Structure 1
Amino acid sequence: MYHYHPPAGRKPTVFGPYLLLHTLGEGEFGKVKLGIQIESGREVAIKLIKKDHIDSSSRMTKVEREISVLRTVCHPYIVKLYDVIETEKYIGIILQCASGGELFEYILAHRYLKERDACRLFAQLISGVHYMHQKHIVHRDLKLENLLLDRDRNIIITDFGFANQFTSAKNDLMATSCGSPCYAAPELVVSEGMYVGSAVDIWSCGVILYAMLCGYLPFDDDPANPEGDNINLLYKYILNTQLAFPDYVSDDARDLLQKMLVPDPAKRCTMQIIMEHNWL
């Protein structure tokens, strides 16, 4: 329970039944603020989207898609949607507050994670992603910055703006590429247009696990492409670079990563193989 006392002489900002406090982060469409439900004192995160920032139908689709996906999921490691409030100027998405910060920061603070810790967090990530896939949802933008921690250091998967729903397992083919280059599966770069969504998430989970265990990204150090901005160069680099590990990564963990970070999606391991793997 949180009791908020505004600074003397300052009127708190109210948004629906919530008090708006400080900014937790900034997204593509606006700010994420810490909110307090006035009646219960519950802490929430409020994604405030300025309506005049939604200046194209593709941006509107992204907002609608995120809300629609969050309404259909209910899982301990996926961010909870509490409410959507619309005012004249804003759309406010009221979400569970992740008070443990970003997984990214957590790894930075430790340089890299001990395998027991990484294993626990990765199992939670896989549990959440497997649940999504069973509901025919692919996230398509899994990366450290979209993984938050709650106060007990459990994973919370967020940011479903790129998520997509497919109608059946046979129809798990997506046509638009998205996500962040360093986490994006190579097949997203090849412009043949169609790819298997669930395999894309598995690649990104592999990149995340690698970062947890090693403390850096697997395909981030091409001297010819230092920022990873040239996506075609990044793709060539991924295809031609053998996965390398620092010596503190165990054999079992290496084996799992070598099954996940396979550039050819047809040869990449499935969720089932990950969940049954020795390391996990």
Structure 2
Amino acid sequence: MNSSNEYEEAMKIASELSIDKLHSFPGNDTSPSGEKMLYSSPNSTVYLDSLSSESELNMNNSPRKVKELCVVKTVKGQAFCYLLGKEYRILKELDHPHIIKPIEFNQTKTLQEQSASLYLPYYSKGELFQLVKSKNGLGESLSCSYLKQISSAIEYLHELNIAHRDIKLENILVDDEANAKVIDFGFCYLSEYQTEEEHSKDIQTRVLESSIEANIMGTAAYLSPELIELTSNGGLSICDSPDKIAEKLDILKAGDIFALGVTLFTMVTGVAPFASATKNDANYRALLLGKRKKCDWFWKKHIIAKSMTEKGLLSEEFKNLVEGMLDPNPSDRLTIFSVVNHPWMSKFINPASEETNQVLC
């Protein structure tokens, strides 16, 4: 195996591993099991299926078999199986009400091919992105309710020294009770992550997996400026020495906060704050200018934000929180603890039940 070529090919189509496509690509095709296909690509398929599970006892005190509708994601190839397997092993150890729980994982390996399947709960309401898009933004009150749930999940992860690395609206599902569920953990980073079979892996396998972990994961529009810069400087391999592990984790945690800031802004306004965190982007340049001159230039430059501000739809607490989460300097950026305890988070103690009911409808 040419590990360099395999790595390049894996990175070329790595986005196909993103579980955010579970509800984004509905289709009429059928899956290998005859169920509805949600997404298909050369290296992955995502479809609905039913799993039999034992439920409450029947009248004869025997376990009753029930069918549970779930989402099945199947991938092919060594790189993809590695990431999907890592996602399952990490998810099954997590226990948080706003993080998805896996159901089952299967992996097969033949001389010709590796494949793996991850079974997850199916939520018919789909992604938070679709809800935001359908309503042209959720406003501050309902967005605050969702941010509390999402940030509590990220705080839980960061306390476990886990960085998610791909926080975005498409990676948050809405469950049947209209609560948030964070998904897509294939790209996450855990400094102590290691499996029992790690020592038995051949050198080429370890090189491939190390190359994947050193790559900058995530979605371009949500990437922090320092991660974008690292992309052009060889990725995260500069932090892979043992004495740099803590530094790498801090970089990735700060990246999570930046992505969460983009998520929050988009959730409230219905549009992204900028296309990318680079000086080539006019809205991001306005954010930088506002930071340097201590003014609200960004809020005057961004068309939607300006309009909502003029209508009194954006509070100063919201603006302060967004600016702190999107601070271009990672050392000055808010931590997840600061986000959770920000004054804006207690501004809407009881979000209007009518708004929540709209989500459930």
TM-score range for the pair, normalised by the shorter chain length: 0.7 to 0.9
- Once the two structures are TM-superposed, the CA of residue 33 in structure 1 deviates from its matched residue by 1.3
Say yes or no: does 1:64 pair with 2:85.
Answer: yes
**Out of 216, 237, 256, which is 1:201 matched to?**
256
1:103 aligned residue: 128
2:171 aligned residue: 146
2:69 aligned residue: 43
Q: Distance in 2 between matches of 1:58 and 1:269?
A: 34
Query: 2:322 corresponds to which letter in structure 1?
Result: L
Asked if 1 retains the 8 angstrom alpha-carbon contact of 2:105 and 2:116, the reply is yes
2:335 aligned residue: 270
- Once the two structures are TM-superposed, the CA of residue 43 in structure 1 deviates from its matched residue by 1.7
Say yes or no: does 1:188 pair with 2:214.
Answer: no
2:274 aligned residue: 219
Q: Distance in 1 between matches of 2:228 and 2:220?
A: 9
Change (3 A) 1:37 1:59: closer
**Out of 83, 92, 105, which is 2:117 matched to?**
92
Change (3 A) 1:201 1:27: farther
Change (3 A) 1:99 1:267: same
- Once the two structures are TM-superposed, the CA of residue 156 in structure 1 deviates from its matched residue by 1.1
Change (3 A) 1:59 1:91: closer
2:314 aligned residue: 249
Superposition CA RMSD, Å: 2.8
DSSP 3-state at the match of 1:145: helix
- Once the two structures are TM-superposed, the CA of residue 135 in structure 1 deviates from its matched residue by 1.4
Once the two structures are overlaid, the 10-residue window that deviates more, 196-205 or 86-95, is 86-95
DSSP 3-state at the match of 2:67: coil
1:258 aligned residue: 323
Query: 2:344 corresponds to which letter in structure 1?
Result: W
Asked if 2 retains the 8 angstrom alpha-carbon contact of 1:189 and 1:235, the reply is no
The higher radius of gyration belongs to: 2
Say yes or no: does 1:177 pair with 2:216.
Answer: yes
Asked if 2 retains the 8 angstrom alpha-carbon contact of 1:186 and 1:235, the reply is no
4+ aligned runs moved over 6 Å, structure 1: none
TM-score, with structure 2 as normaliser: 0.62
Q: Distance in 2 between matches of 1:114 and 1:77?
A: 21
Q: Distance in 2 between matches of 1:27 and 1:158?
A: 20
Q: Distance in 2 between matches of 1:186 and 1:206?
A: 13
- Once the two structures are TM-superposed, the CA of residue 98 in structure 1 deviates from its matched residue by 2.1
1:4 aligned residue: none
Q: Distance in 1 between matches of 2:289 and 2:157?
A: 31
Which structure carries more helix by proportion? 2
Q: Distance in 2 between matches of 1:270 and 1:26?
A: 37
Q: Distance in 1 between matches of 2:283 and 2:138?
A: 29
- Once the two structures are TM-superposed, the CA of residue 237 in structure 1 deviates from its matched residue by 4.3
2:352 aligned residue: none
DSSP 3-state at the match of 1:35: strand
Change (3 A) 1:212 1:237: closer
- Once the two structures are TM-superposed, the CA of residue 48 in structure 1 deviates from its matched residue by 1.6
**Out of 14, 36, 41, which is 1:22 matched to?**
36
TM-score, with structure 1 as normaliser: 0.79
Once the two structures are overlaid, the 10-residue window that deviates more, 27-36 or 255-264, is 27-36
Q: Distance in 2 between matches of 1:235 and 1:157?
A: 31
Q: Distance in 2 between matches of 1:87 and 1:65?
A: 15
Q: Number of residue pairs matched?
A: 247
